[in-house]
Chains A and B, each alone.
Chain A
Amino acid sequence: MRSLRTRVGLLLLATSMIAASGAAFAEQVTLNFLTAEKDETVAPVIAGFEKLHPDIKVVHTTVPFDSMNATIEARVGGQDSSIDVFLVDSPRVPAMANRGYLMNLNEFRDAADKVSNDVAMGVVSWKGDMYALPLWTSTQLMYYNKDLLDKAGIPYPGAKEEDRLTYDQVVDLAKKAQAAGAKFGFLPEQIDRYYQLQPLFESIGGGSGLTGPDNLTPDITNPKWIEAAEFYSSLFKDGIAPRGVPNDQMSSVFTSGDVAFYIGGPWQFRPFNAAEGLKYGVAPVPYFKGGKPVVPTDSWAVGISPYAAHPDEAKKFVEYMSINPEGALLSVANNPIPPTNEEAYKTYIDGIAALNPDVGPAAKEIMTYELAKNSVSRPRSIGYVAFEEIMNRAFSDIRNGADVTTTLQQAQDQLNSTLARIQ
């Protein structure tokens, strides 16, 4: 009995000594990673990274999407060392770099350039320096409700680039579908948001709305801008799109089977596939006759706080997520949007194509050529955040029936004074 106790005691002593020595050799570093994503979205990439680097533990903190930028402003702006790595809304890179919220990542330029396209590289750079690594991107498609089109005797639009309809053609078809019983004809997913509406102005040839040195001069009252804004206004004035439905409820109007044509991102595949009784197809986003096809793009990039407690480990993590194809692919394993990493994209898009055999091949074709040819990023400017806020308000007024020319002129005046202050 006594010898058993001695043996157990010795064993415990030995175990604790081994554990202590192990801890001394491999002290684990904890990286804090801030996003607006659910835990399960980033869990695969964190697990993959931790397996590769057992000495680094990544702790994910999530904040609600609408509070993400305010949180970064408050915490990184307050030089908080408890955030190492965070996701950055890519059009905010210039403003954040300008305020010193992002670490310079020029050392990754060559490696990132090899795996990402020029658009993705452009959005993470400001004045020749690189402040984040490209992570995810986005594109849009035009979804259509097959039942509503059948009812109106409208043939399904094709998926090839040459099959792309003009906005006027889509509106005509939408009215036809409404005459045959569709509640609404045609609606954009993110009403009043510059991200969603920029393609209208770019397609017609009106420009992004910001020009001049460093994109700090507003240009939103030119005739092309007014024409495109009149088109947006008419969608709601003519009852083709509903006035009272907010952004985040828009997709449910489509899943309810009430809309003939709907412009949205690839994040809608899962909910649309799951919607009971919904038969849908996809086509490329329309363009203005005489203009060019344009789709919105960009998403979150990944950056490092200049006040990070563990910058070296943070660099390893962002490199894994963005440049390593395995990490890039894991970052979208539970996420419906495309990775910027071109190697990872190939596997991602095959996964999207396999989600729904009816729609998948067309979706793959459209997304691939849109991302390669027709994606236009939001303007690179330290004034982008203010620009976006003012424009989103103006779009909301236009949607609610305000006079287009007056509203744009007021927004232009407001932008002139706001951007002059930023200059």
Chain B
Amino acid sequence: MNMSARRSFQMVLIVTFGLLFVFPLYWVCISAFRPEDDIFRYLSPLRIWTFLPNRVTFDNIVTLWMSPFARAIFNSIFVAVATVAGGLVVCAMAAFALAVIEFPGRSLVFTVMIVSFLIPFDAIAVPLYNVMRGFGLQNTYLGLILPGIGNGLTVFLLRQFFLGLPKDLREAGLVDGMGYFQIFWRIYLPLSVPALISAGLIMFIFQWQAYLWPLLIAPRTDLKVAAVAIAQFSSAYDVSFGVIFAGAMFVSLIPMIILVVFQQYFTSSVASTGGKE
């Protein structure tokens, strides 16, 4: 096989796999514009109407936005952005301490942090809920935001990135009379923008896709987040697939836009974390 034929073959393979990944999402989007009866009608066998809606309706979109979905989207954005803002400050400082400051028990603290992100959140949700309720944080934004702030994975990523920064910079800072906070603020943070963006994205996605926690801690209608609001369209005797698909479409759009805008930082920082010097 010559070079160009090989490249064409690879291209076809890549495009085919790409389409296979995109198709379910595409199907969800077009199904949001189909009447309820048509959604599953043309799934099997595959035919032209599987891929194109033969009847188009905006009823699902209207029903979605007539419900408190706009409020839920606002809540999701607010919670995710607040988590990223608060979480970056807390996690970056923790990562700096673990990467730069020598103190007894540092490895132990780091190990505990690693273990913390290996435990599935669902496993601690119920006891955590009881603690939060004890603090009066049920049905509050703070209750939604707090568990997302201390993110073990984010601390790990940032620590690895900080370890990769040259020691000389820190030492120069110390010689110039800077304290640790100034070194963190003036030297490490400005050099770590890609890693911070990457960490922010992880925290954003964590909150954006959270379901069990918001369901437990903030079930009040005006505090519901988007994921919970969408699930509400499935009751014991009636599942409104069209509306659920419409909701899923809008809910996917926001992280998609953010990822497209920041993807270059995300990949560059993930690639560079873990490398020393």
Contact = CB atoms under 8 A, between A and B. Distances in A.
Interface of A: 34, 36-39, 41, 61-67, 70-71, 73-75, 77-78, 80, 82, 244-245, 248-249, 252-253, 255-256, 265, 267, 271, 274-276, 299-300, 335-337
Nearest to B126: A74
Interface in B198-223: 212, 215-216, 219-221
A310 to B, nearest CB: 17
Interface string B20-61: 000000000000000011011100100000000000000000
Given A248-B239, A271-B36, 5 more contacts: A75-B129, A75-B216, A80-B138, A249-B40, A265-B237
Interface string B215-243: 11001110000001001101111110100
Contact of A64 (B39, B138, B232): B232
Nearest to A70: B212
A37 B235 CA distance: 6
Nearest to B122: A70
Given A61-B220, A74-B129, A337 B237 contact: yes
B40 A80 contact: no
B234 A64 contact: yes
Given A71-B216, A78-B126, A267 B238 contact: yes
A77 B40 CA distance: 39
Contacts of B228: 63-64
B129 A66 contact: no
Contacts of B7: none
A252 B41 contact: yes
Contact of B235 (A36, A71, A75, A244): A36
A335 B237 CA distance: 9
Contacts of B264: none
B166 to A, nearest CB: 49
Contacts of A249: 40, 241
A256 B40 contact: yes
B50 to A, nearest CB: 13
B272 interface: no
Interface size range of chain B in the complex:
20 to 34
A77 B216 CA distance: 12
7 contacts: A63-B219, A64-B234, A66-B234, A70-B212, A245-B40, A256-B41, A336-B237
Nearest to A79: B130
Contacts of A255: 37
A143 to B, nearest CB: 15
- Most B-side CB within 10 Å, residue of A39, A65, A80, A299: A65
Contact of A78 (B130, B219, B241): B130
Nearest to A270: B238
Contacts of B106: none
Contacts of B212: 67, 70
B276 interface: no
Given A71-B215, A248-B239, A256-B41, A65 B234 contact: yes
B232 to A, nearest CB: 6
B133 interface: yes
B125 interface: yes
Interface in B222-269: 228, 231-232, 234-239, 241
Nearest to A80: B133
A256 B42 CA distance: 9
A65 B37 contact: no
CB-based closest 10 A-B pairs: A64-B231, A267-B237, A252-B40, A256-B41, A248-B239, A78-B130, A61-B219, A74-B126, A65-B236, A249-B40
Nearest to A89: B236
A67 B126 CA distance: 13
Interface in B123-141: 125-126, 129-130, 133, 138-139
B113 to A, nearest CB: 26
B138 A78 contact: no
B215 A63 contact: yes
B231 A253 contact: no
Contact of B40 (A41, A63, A73, A253): A253
A300 B239 CA distance: 18
Contacts of A41: 235
B55 to A, nearest CB: 9
B133 A252 contact: no
A122 to B, nearest CB: 21
A267 B239 CA distance: 11
- Most A-side CB within 10 Å, residue of B44, B126, B138, B237: B237
A256 B49 CA distance: 14
